[in-house]
Structure 1
């Protein structure tokens, strides 16, 4: 009986937090809605009056603000995904640039980001992998060891 009471209390405290957090798809939908409003603004600028244009601009600004807030809320509620912190590697930190050549020690399979879509990273090309190097994310051509793209301080 005691276990059931404790489980009930845990569920009551966790459920409101889960219910209030927005899902990734909801945030994406609000971003799509923003794009539609931007299209409407462009059309209003072509064919509408000044009053219509002002209203459309205000609507687009409000939608942009909402999308930024939605992404901020999403990142706050999914801190485990975007967590930085004390990430250890058997080598010291180097600030890699595009075109630099890395030794294979730096891009072993244990440093691969296996699910780049979880972090909203673009799809890697053929023979390319996203690598985590401390708090940076590097797109590396695994055949030549060349750095193709760099996102600095991606993990905070």
Structure 2
């Protein structure tokens, strides 16, 4: 009997948290409602009177708060995805400068930019490759590991 009561209490505490978890679609719908309310606010500012504008601003504020809460709930319920460092890269972000020497893990072939012309990058010289490091692009001498040029925020 004691085990049944404990299991019942455990289930009662777990079920509400699972039921309140937001899905990705619900968070997206909240964002869509926010955009609609912002559109209504702009229309009210153009054509409405003060009461319409005041009501539209309140709707936008409420929608913004609801969307923020939905995304927070979604991130809270999918904590494993949003946990920092939940990936298996051999490195973290570093601000590299020209002249720095990299380990081969930073400029291996999986990080090469195969078609630099697509991004309007100049043609690399012999033994040089364009390498992507997060949102940065670096021109690296693959023989020595030296960084020749850095373009920060290139993919931003």
Indicate the TM-score class for this superposition, using the shorter chain for normalisation: 0.5 to 0.7
Deviation at 1:16, TM superposition (A): 3.0
- Are the equivalent residues in 1 in contact too, given 2:80–2:86 (CA < 8 A)? no
- Tell me, in whole angstroms, the C-alpha distance in 2 between the residues paired with 1:130 and 1:21: 36
- Unpaired segments of 5 or more residues in structure 2? 1-5, 112-117, 120-130, 141-150
Name 1:83's counterpart in structure 2: 83
Name 1:55's counterpart in structure 2: 55
Name 1:25's counterpart in structure 2: 25
Give the TM-score normalised by the residue count of structure 1.
0.56
Q: Larger radius of gyration, structure 1 or 2?
A: 2
- Tell me, in whole angstroms, the C-alpha distance in 1 between the residues paired with 2:54 and 2:48: 10
- Tell me, in whole angstroms, the C-alpha distance in 2 between the residues paired with 1:44 and 1:58: 12
Give the TM-score normalised by the residue count of structure 2.
0.56
Name 2:37's counterpart in structure 1: 37
RMSD of Structure 2 on Structure 1 (CA): 4.3
- Unpaired segments of 5 or more residues in structure 1? 1-5, 112-125, 132-137, 151-156
1:5-154 paired onto structure 2 within 5 Å: 14-85=14-85, 90=90, 94-96=94-96, 105-106=105-106, 138-139=134-135, 148-149=154-155
